[in-house]
Amino acid sequence: MLRASLREVSAALKEGRVSPTELCRRCLSLIKSTKFLNAYITVLEEAALKQAEESEKRYSRGQPLGVLDGIPIAVKDNFNTAGIETTCASNMLKGYVSPYNATVVQKLMDQGAVLLGKTNLDEFAMGALGSDTGGSTRNPAAHCGLVGLKPTYGLISRHGLIPLVNSMDVPGILTRCVDDAAVVLGSLAGHDPKDSTTIQDSFKPFELPNLTDISKLSIGIPKEYHAPGLSSEILAVWSKAADLFKSAGAKVIEVSLPHTRYSIVCYHVLCAAEVASNMARFDGLEYGHRSDMNKSTESMYAATRREGFNDVVRGRILSGNYFLLKQNYENYFIKAQKVRRLIANDFVKVFRSGVDILLTPTTLSDAVPYMEFIKEDNRTRSAQDDILTQAANMAGLPAINVPTALSERGLPVGLQFIGRSFQEKQLLTVARWFEKQVKFPMIQLEVVKRHDHDVVQHQKSASFS
Amino acid sequence: MAAAVARGCGGLWRRARQCGAGGPASHGQRAVASSATGGAVSAGKSGLAPWVPVVGLEIHAQISSNSKLFSGSQVQFAAPPNSLVSFFDASLPGTLPVLNRRCVEAAVMTGLALNCSINKKSLFDRKHYFYADLPAGYQITQQRVPIAVNGSLSYSLCTGNKMSQMVTKTVRIKQIQLEQDSGKSLHDDTRSQTLVDLNRAGVGLMEVVMEPDMCCGEEAAAAVRELQLILQTLGSSQAVMAEGQLRVDANVSVHHPGEPYGVRTEVKNINSIRFLAKAVDYEIQRQIEELENGGTILNETRAFDSKLGFMPEPNLPPLIVYDAKSLPANMNHQQVVNIDWIHERLPDLPSVKREKLVEQYGILPEHSFTLLNEEGLTEFYENVVKQTQMKPKKVIGWILNDLLSYLKQHSLTVKESPVSSFLLADLLNLLEKKVISSTAAKQVLAELWKGEGKTPLEIVKEKKLELIQDQKELEQICQAVIDGQENEVMAIKAGNQKVLNKLIGLVQRETQGRSNPVLVKQLLEKKLSE
């Protein structure tokens, strides 16, 4: 049951084959047994069980709220959840209890979803899950064998999402399969008056059709995504995927997004600037951590922020302030905005030329082992991690990671599809077709519970080994 | 647009003229000219070149709206501390700004009234600085492209001896921008703490920037006064300075004619119009003295200025306003701000109201200024005019000289006047019908001020102030006076007409002021010529 798709679970709940409370308990038990992974900052055992009980009552009356009723969900700890601690994994917000729900959280609750807890992230999301600013939904999805969807900027409300880069952040959806992502998207998307950057047009949730006629499809392969450092494994997987589309009858062509190589630098300038601005509110006065230093307001600010933020955050604030200085603004910030426009235009041109979807790798390699991971500093690491995902954020385009194969080490590897603005239906339709061809194996969670981190032998999938 | 536009102060060589209450809080013996309308000049030390003061203004007007600029919390003066603070106002993480449409309309109205071009697309920016009353660490404002630009404001000053001449001046409006107000911080030095009240944080402001076209405190004060009246007429701001709804910062510098502008300083936290005039003139004088003593002018606020620039506000798309031409056909008119629609509904501005008063009632321009300057006075005046046969041209004297001076003496507003328009009209009718003399009328008015509920007629009867209507009685008195003043009669008959006034005076005394001096004069002349 814990490996089933959202739809399957939903059907099981409806048919009474499993109850919401049983499901909830199983999830909570799995969370406990995988505690060493430190995936959760806050686990909401009592509250979740209560929600599950309510859901059960609704099912017994034959009145579930929808397909998400009783479904266990987890939310990254940079989304506000009313009455629950929201920390952004930072000392600055330790003990901060949100007084309101983020719009996306509210929507899930209104549908009867059961909130298991708040998941961990890099401090202030400077490199992690559940929201996507530079790839933080798609990257982990690729490394963990999940579907990670980054919707078009403006499709889903950011109200209540503690921002990293306001002009690039979107709530991201992580699920086991593409269908599930479509379901969740259906319950989250749409205009929110509390978020002025959401589109006005009304959104209609959709069912994904079976794609039968591939011949009408044009897949673009951007040559710049053959980036330095791309593992040969992933290159092979990417090629195979392109061939798959070709043999199914699709038009597969090489395209160029010439400004791709500037995107990381551009991203870093804009990100730092917005971060510096967004972090300015953490002064210890209204909420959050406040230092004991009270000689003067200024000294209190300084001490609070030094104690509350880690090095990465402070580093970005300092760089951001530098870029925003009057004498630097033109050369850094404005310049980066212009480059951003060029990057976005690359995509516009390609899509205008008849390409429907772009196919690229999501990451440069499979997940790096922990010992290697901790060697590099955050800036280098994120520079490498985001290189393939972050242009979509610059351009505001929808993108999705579809788990594709296992590496030689037996770790998941995914591929990314990038679509046109607000054309999630088309994007997910193609992604789903691909998912069906690939038949990526299900994750064996019981094996993960073992404390030793030996590489586990999985069943290799037929087409992509 | 009014005629005679005088930008800045021309006529450097003119001598200073006294002008109203505009004198600076002068100190020292230096014969520095006070503010003037034609030319503000320093006599300076003998032999030194004159100075040209330059004054520009930055005015923050709180928008009159139910809720704040970017959040739904209420706008209210003097509410319990921190009782009107939404999550967004407190800068709680994850909250986003949502623009208040009424604030946009207020800004467009104000822009139109000040002859500005309305930018159909304007942008919002973040201005960063750290201060306890700025929870987000930045203020959302419109620095790059504000909602309105390039306007003008005409204002008038009285000049000449007895303040009888009106001069119209114009100041250019550089721009009007929408921005957030900050909270309030109260420094408690005894306990070494700062108390922060965020009720005001996020309230909508219109910043009106006036170019340095003014030359003295008087001009600055007059310009602000006119702006205040305009805002109050539009209803876009209540503009009450005492409640912090209108705040003025003045930029002041001095230079010698023909030389570049001097270093400017900012005079801040001005909370009354009178103080504005004084503070500006004081600063002008201070700068002149400083420079004449060989010193330099330091811009202290500049040193404090943040080095951080602006950043576009990423959570707000560009603000688009429409006019009839650009409005898309299918757009719901409730959802957009339409410049033309607002323009059609603008009320008469003060300048137009004044013109109409002058035209309708035949009063002088300076009268119309005083009428509009006092809240409720125009209405009072018009009510009296409606209820009396006395000509409006005569009524105005009673309003401005008698009523208004009483009100000022007792620090009362028109609303609080113990004499209603009805009572005053009643009194003026008695005068008009020649039931009483004008001297008697003033006496009656003084009595009415006590507010004892008596009617003018009752007071007249009580004090026996009626003019003597019986001609025969009057003739007898005149005759008696003539008979008693032989010398004077001879002088008059000899040709000295002035002495007649003495006789009239004597008759007045005999009748205890109850004789109509015009009639008395006629009777005396008739008798003397017999």
Using an 8 Å Cβ cutoff, are B143 and B127 in contact? yes
- Cβ contacts of A100 on chain B, cutoff 8 Å: 87, 92
Q: For residue A387, what is the DSSP state?
A: G
| Strand A170-171 relative to strand A147-150, pairing | unpaired
Using an 8 Å Cβ cutoff, are B427 and B448 in contact? yes
Q: How far apart are the first and last CA of chain B?
A: 62
Amino acid at A391: A
| A98, A281, A333 member nearest B135 (Cβ) | A281
Q: Residue A464's pLDDT is what?
A: 46
Q: Percent of chain A beyond pLDDT 70?
A: 91
* Beta-carbon separation of A162 and B314 below 8 A: no
How many contacts (CB atoms, under 8 Å) link A and B? 95
* Beta-carbon separation of B132 and A285 below 8 A: yes
Nearest CA in chain B to A300: B132
Nearest CA in chain A to B185: A297
Nearest CA in chain A to B99: A196
Best mutation site among A164, A271, A324, A341 for testing chain B: the one with the most B CBs within 10 Å?
A: A324
From chain A, which residues contact B within 8 Å (Cβ)? 79-80, 86, 88, 93, 98-100, 102, 158-163, 165-167, 193-197, 273-274, 277, 279-281, 283, 285-287, 297-298, 301, 321, 324-326, 329, 333
User: Which band of pLDDT confidence, cut at 50, 70 and 90, is reported for residue B20?
Assistant: very low
Instruction: Report the distance separating Cα B86 and Cα B103, nearest Å.
Output: 18
Per-residue pLDDT at A428 exceeds 60: yes
* Beta-carbon separation of B96 and A93 below 8 A: no
Nearest CA in chain B to A88: B93
* Beta-carbon separation of A280 and B308 below 8 A: no
| A167, A274, A287 member nearest B92 (Cβ) | A287
Instruction: Report the distance separating Cα B438 and Cα A196, nearest Å.
Output: 68
If you average pLDDT over every residue of chain A, what do you get?
Answer: 88
- Cβ contacts of A333 on chain B, cutoff 8 Å: 311
| B130, B137, B315 member nearest A197 (Cβ) | B315
User: Which band of pLDDT confidence, cut at 50, 70 and 90, is reported for residue A446?
Assistant: low
User: Which band of pLDDT confidence, cut at 50, 70 and 90, is reported for residue B30?
Assistant: very low
Q: For residue B181, what is the DSSP state?
A: P
Per-residue pLDDT at A125 exceeds 70: no
* Beta carbons within 8 Å of B280's beta carbon, 6+ residues apart: B35, B55, B216, B217, B220, B221, B250, B252, B267
Q: Residue B7's pLDDT is what?
A: 32
Per-residue pLDDT at B316 exceeds 90: yes
pTM of the predicted model as reported, rounded to 2 decimal places: 0.86
Instruction: Report the distance separating Cα A274 and Cα B314, nearest Å.
Output: 9
Show the DSSP H helices in B305-376 as ranges. Answer: 339-344, 350-361, 365-373
* Beta carbons within 8 Å of A29's beta carbon, 6+ residues apart: none
Q: Residue A357's pLDDT is what?
A: 98
* Range of lowest pLDDT (A79-93, A164-178, A308-322): A308-322
Q: Is B81 helix (H, G, I), strand (E, B) or coil?
A: coil
| B126, B132, B309 member nearest A329 (Cβ) | B309
Highest mean pLDDT, choosing among A411-415, B436-440, B445-449? A411-415
* Beta-carbon separation of B138 and A277 below 8 A: yes
Nearest CA in chain B to A328: B309
| A99, A194, A277 member nearest B128 (Cβ) | A277
User: Which band of pLDDT confidence, cut at 50, 70 and 90, is reported for residue A462?
Assistant: very low
Instruction: Report the distance separating Cα A78 and Cα B94, nearest Å.
Output: 8
